[in-house]
Amino acid sequence: MQEILEKVDQLKKEIQDTSLSTSEELEKYRIRFLGTKGLVKELMSEMKNVSKEMKKDFGAKLNEFKIFAETKYEEYKGVSSTDKESANEAIDYSLPGFPSETGSRHPIQLVMNKMISIFEKIGFTVTEGPEIEDDWHNFNALNLPENHPARDMQDTFYISKNPDWLLRTHTSSVQVRVMKEGKLPLRQIFPGRVYRNETVSARAHCFFHQIEGLYIDEKVSFADLKQTLYYFVKEMFGADVKVRFRPSYFPFTEPSAEMDVSCFICASKGCTVCKHTGWVEILGCGMVHPNVLTNCGIDAEKYAGFAWGMGVERTAMMQYGITDIRVLSENDTRFLDQFKNVV
Ligand code: DAH
């Protein structure tokens, strides 16, 4: 009995000397003194061994100890929660939050969007066609004879033979689809992806993007073609960039030309982009061949038209100083993240 009372005094002293500054210390204290297997409970269980006469005094002493232990706990619990409150007060709610990560537009899409908006300003509308085409839309209707080298298995990805299904090699196939619908006059552009069976390298890829244009009406001339493309170049590359047309050959146009712009990377002084010529080829164009009009059900005596097809990759590479075409299709986020917030 005496022993227990001494132990109570000892524990009281221990409680007095205990400092409770962290929530872990507080919890440890709670378990040691006030928990279901704690010292207060343990001492209370001694009551049954105490004689009747002593019970009152003993009980009072233990009760006092219990209250003492609980008070200390409550006191410190209060302090630690006020600590939390004051810590909360230190948070500046006016600070901006963490922004959520957003994606970025792909450089090819950025350049295409710019090209499209330039043509839209002068009345061209956008139409898309299928990437999987048949032989007739991709070749025959465009006046490409059966033995034309562009039809060679080496250049074209065939999906099946007889019937021939292939991945379109150019967006010119969309010209055919639109002309076949028979609504004239026609003033449209056809952006999209095209495929060629080429060895992938820093300068060439087996798929890339083109924007095709088609204008058909009565009395359309080569002068209209030139003015349309001059306007485009000025809007796209700036007023200082020079333009030149070179005679060329495409089965679906007559006459045909290729258009170069003066290299704005080196100001025509000569660099790797222009292969030291000062000029960069950006598109093929020409007056729509009468055979093509006829193949698509258009009266070639009454109507004439011009068309062009331009690559997007080369322009994007020039615009952003990209030297390897492959980075445009690898989806490496270290590359793509550089275009964040570019619109
Ligand atoms: N289809 C041609 C190519 O992929 C580009 C082209 C040239 C398109 C002349 C045209 C055109 O519409 O008139 O190389």
> Based on the domain organization, do 221 and 326 belong to the same domain?
yes
Residue 124: predicted pLDDT: 98
> Mean pLDDT of all residues in the chain?
91
Residue 18 has pLDDT above 90, yes or no: no
Residue 157, pLDDT score: 95
Q: Among residues 24, 56, 89, which one ends one of the domains? A: 89
Q: Please check whether residues 211 and 298 belong to one and the same domain.
A: yes
Name the pLDDT band for 82 (thresholds 50, 70, 90): low
Closest residue by Cα to atom 13, ligand 1, is 285
153, 222: one domain: yes
Is a pLDDT exceeding 80 seen at residue 292? yes
Q: What is the pLDDT of residue 151?
A: 78
Q: Is 188 domain-assigned?
A: yes
Q: Where among 62, 89, 116 does a domain terminate?
A: 89
Give CA–CA dist 179/227, Å, rounded.
Answer: 23
In a domain, 247, yes or no: yes
Residue 89, pLDDT score: 65
Ligand 1 centroid to Cα of residue 116, in Å, is 17
Q: Compute the distance from residue 271 Cα to the ligand 1 centre, in Å.
A: 26
For 177-221, how does the pLDDT look when each residue is reduced to its tens digit (9 = 90+)?
999 999 999 999 999 999 999 999 998 999 999 999 999 999 999
Which of the pair, 55 or 193, is modelled with greater confidence? 193
**Same domain, residue pair 307 and 273:** yes
- pLDDT greater at residue 155 or residue 259: 259
Atom of ligand 1 minimally distant from the CA of 309 = 8
In a domain, 61, yes or no: yes
Question: Are 18 and 128 found together in one domain?
Answer: no
Neighbours of 27 (CB within 10 A): 12
Task: Domain count for the chain, please give it.
Answer: 2
Tens digit of each residue's pLDDT (9 = 90 or more) over 317-343: 988 989 899 999 999 999 999 999 888
Q: Is residue 194 part of a domain?
A: yes
CATH number of the structural domain spanning residue 292: 3.30.930.10
Identity at 120, one-letter amino acid code: E
What is the distance in A from the centroid of ligand 1 to the CA of 274? 20
Neighbours of 143 (CB within 10 A): 19
**Residue 248 reports pLDDT greater than 90:** yes
Query: How would residue 74 be classed by pLDDT, with cut points 50, 70 and 90?
Result: confident
Give residue 84's pLDDT band: very low, low, confident or very high (50, 70, 90).
Answer: low
63 lies in a domain? yes
Q: Are residues 191 and 294 in the same domain?
A: yes
pLDDT of residue 225: 98
Q: What angle do CA 203, 208, 210 make, to 5 degrees?
A: 120
Same domain (yes/no): 162, 279: yes
Q: Tell the residue nearest (CA) to atom 4 of ligand 1.
A: 170
Residue 136 shares a structural domain with residue 71:
no
Mean pLDDT of all residues in 215-235: 98
Section 62-83 average pLDDT: 81
Higher pLDDT, 274 or 298: 298
Asked if residue 117 has pLDDT above 70, the reply is yes
Residues 270, 321 share a domain? yes
Whether residue 150 has pLDDT greater than 70: no
Ligand 1 binding pocket, CB closer than 6 Å: 170, 172, 212, 250, 253, 284-286, 307-309
Backbone CA torsion sign across 257, 263, 269, 275: negative
In a domain, residue 44? The reply is yes
- Does residue 84 share a domain with residue 115? no
Q: What is the mean pLDDT of residues 16-25?
A: 83
pLDDT for the residue 102: 83
Give domain status of residue 100, yes or no.
Answer: no
In which band, very low, low, confident or very high, does the pLDDT at 23 lie, cut at 50, 70 and 90?
confident
Asked whether residue 231 falls in the same domain as residue 202, the answer is: yes
pLDDT(12) > 70: yes
Nearest CA to ligand 1 atom 6: 309
* CB distance 257 to 286 below 8 Å: yes
Q: Which of 42, 57, 89 is the last residue of a domain?
A: 89
Interval between CA 9 and ligand 1 midpoint (Å): 101
**Token pair for 142:** 């465009």
54, part of any domain: yes
What's the domain range around 318? Answer: 107-339
Same domain (yes/no): 132, 210: yes
